[in-house]
Amino acid sequence: MEMRIPLSAPDITEVDIEAVVSVLRTPRLSIGPRMVEFEEAVAEAAGVPYGVAVSSGTAGLHLCLCALGIGEGDEVILPSFTFIAAGNAVLYQRAKPVFVDIEGISLTLDLGRIEEKITPRTRAIIVVHTFGHPADMDPIMRVARKHGVAVIEDACEAIGAQYRGRSVGGIGDCGVFGFYPNKPITTGEGGMVVTRDAHLAETMRALRNQGRRAGDGWLEHSLLGYNYRLSEINCALGVAQMKRISEILEAREAVAMRYASQLQAISEVIVPPLKIEGGRLCWFVFVVRLAARFTRADRDFICDYLTARGIGCGRYFAPQHLQPLYAAYVNAREDLAVTEQVADRTLALPFFNRLSDEQISEVCQCLREALRTRTAGRRGDVLASPIGVDRR
């Protein structure tokens, strides 16, 4: 269903279009100068020497695990409260995902719960900068180093975010950005791994290109690789978008602040943290949370109400450990209580660079109406089913 106010919308200028079209006028549509330029631009933004362009963020996460040599019998720590890609990348390698709960404000890994999950089989921690909020990297790096465990930053939602003066993605052993159309910087489809480790970068370059190492011919394959290349067409768009990254991040921040000021008046809604000490948020999405007395059914009602009125919204995120695919990997659901509570009450509102003040007002007005309608509908059966009790 086409939304009047979509959940997300890419910001494509005439300059971006011309950059893409200009590639089509050349014979070089893959592995060419635009890829090199794009890799340099993203690596520079992340403050590291190497960028490896790939066909998606998921492919990037997979390559990190492959290049680190993670395989069958290994364990990888990650949050359950994230997009499915991270857990899937672990499964591609026949390794075991070990889910750790999140902390209830930043919605990133709960620092106090990581070390207890480390075993002699743990090989990596995937740290997700959820919704563009930097995870607290210093203590995570300390725990990882203490146990000789690698750190992969899933920065797919966080390009441009800063943690204590450093760009996210460039802090761990490797980091991954995503460029799907809902992301602040898009290439249509695409991703980028960044790292300061020359060997990892070289291995990932071979792996994305059917296992051809530098110097191998087209029909020589040193490694079991993949076709995870990103075309020149995508990279040209990425280069053009990266030139506007500051402007894009500022526009998104301004939209977030306008939402926050309008939502202050709605007591049932909790807005996300608006700033981070010593760092910078990347406004990927605007995810609000309903107050603790609301249930998943309430959230779903509100989401359906907005959708029926042409306002896009998302239920971010469905916890990975509750997906049927992951049933075999979960033995202690009570460990993931915050994840489950948060996931039941989150609601992503329309969010993109050019969201107008009028549209923001309309979304907030509709949200108010939805809450009023739900609360009124509940009054009649309040004794039989009090708000706050989830009747799943």
Q: Please report, as ranges, the residues that interact with ligand PLP according to CB under 6 A.
A: 56-58, 82-83, 85-86, 128, 154, 156-157, 178, 180, 191
CA 179 vs. chain centroid, Å, equals 10
CA 3 vs CA 289, 301, 366: distances in Å? 22, 17, 14
Least distance in Å: CB of 178 to ligand PLP? 4
Nearest CB to ligand PLP, comparing residues 279 and 370: 279
Least distance in Å: CB of 360 to ligand PLP? 23
Cis ω for the linkage preceding 301 (within 30 of 0): no
Nearest CB to ligand PLP, comparing residues 188 and 310: 188
Least distance in Å: CB of 378 to ligand PLP? 33
Least distance in Å: CB of 218 to ligand PLP? 27
- Number of Cβ within 10 Å of residue 151's Cβ equals 22
Which entry of 117, 146, 183, 275 is annotated as an active-site residue? 183
CA separation for the pair 246, 160 (Å, rounded): 8
Q: Which residue has the tokens 């203590």?
A: 139
Please provide the DSSP assignment of 168-208 as one string. Answer: TTSSSSEEEEE--TTSSS--SS-EEEEES-HHHHHHHHHHH
Residue nearest to ligand PLP (CB): 57
Determine phi and psi for 287, rounding to 5 degrees: -105, 115
Please provide the DSSP assignment of 364-376 as one string. Answer: HHHHHHHHHHHHH
Nearest CB to ligand PLP, comparing residues 153 and 232: 153
Nearest CB to ligand PLP, comparing residues 61 and 288: 61
Q: 117 catalytic, yes or no?
A: no
Q: Which residues are catalytic?
A: 183
